[in-house]
Structure 1
């Protein structure tokens, strides 16, 4: 009994952990697909995940590293902060870029950030407006090296999203099937128990009727004898 209970606990823990990991993977891959399709960075509870595919921020952020960024009020940013922003550089075509704030300048009465990659010799040619700031760099999540290049392939990313989702769907179908089978078995057992109870009651009733008949016959014989 204890072994069975222990197995059930282990199975439950494994299922929960596996489901959580799959959900996180789906969210991560979904985030990447959304970014690639819309060229926008989605945020969950104010946080976003970015895949850095260039080496301009090495060694702080190695190439093909997933980083965590947090939404922030641009007024709170200072020189030295690493930020992710929508770049005005025609070579990047408005895509997100992650560089360090090198300076803060005023242009036509508005503040702009001058940014620079740690591995670059000179600052970026195009300044960053406050409205273009996506968030501030928090930390590296995981560095995948060359493996991270697979996330640049939309077909691979699509498979990474579909497969976990399919696994979750199949697991739910299996769980629902098992639950339905268990409920059906319980109904059958309950019906069987009720049927047995009815049979016992019927048998008791027959025995009682038989005893009553015998008693009546004895009384009749006693009366006749008298």
Structure 2
């Protein structure tokens, strides 16, 4: 494991352990925080995730004859969207309907899914050997994404998240590390994993991480989008990511 991947993984673990303490308590500052992090996340989706998914599709089609179209991995990403959306829909409906007898079961269901999701993200970081400056900006975007996810889970489950949930999410990161170090999957399998988590991440960013209109701070959101986009595109140009 590279030192870059180790630092990113350790950062992701600390985020899940202390996400509820990282968000500013003041309402205005909190709105600006989520607007800025949402801007970074949206930029990350459009300047990194989608181009990388397209590159993976082209490489997979070139090396595997049974890929006859130009969209097979996009279908996997769409499957990630469906799975993620279905889980969030079930959970949020239960909370709206106040189905207290199902909350405990839904907690374990949702936490287990996100633990698995964290494992796949951590595996991707280790297996793709994201290094140097690229690791910093990858880690920044994914880290803010994890903060938003962890904060939402803390808001929904409170003490249950602090007592059990955050440790399961952190264990998902560790499991992804271990899998990336000990298991050599084929390039096709790695591309499928990346496509699946890309779909889940895209939906989460666009539907759940962007604050609603009455809680958003548009200028801060715009600053987040433009700053991350300009810096990332500049680094892509100079370092040929």
TM-score norm. by structure 1 comes to 0.24
Instruction: Look at both structures and tell me which one has the larger radius of gyration over its CA atoms.
Output: 1
- Higher relative contact order, chain-length normalized (CA < 8 Å, sep 6+): 2
Q: Which has the higher helix share?
A: 2
Q: Which has the higher strand share?
A: 1
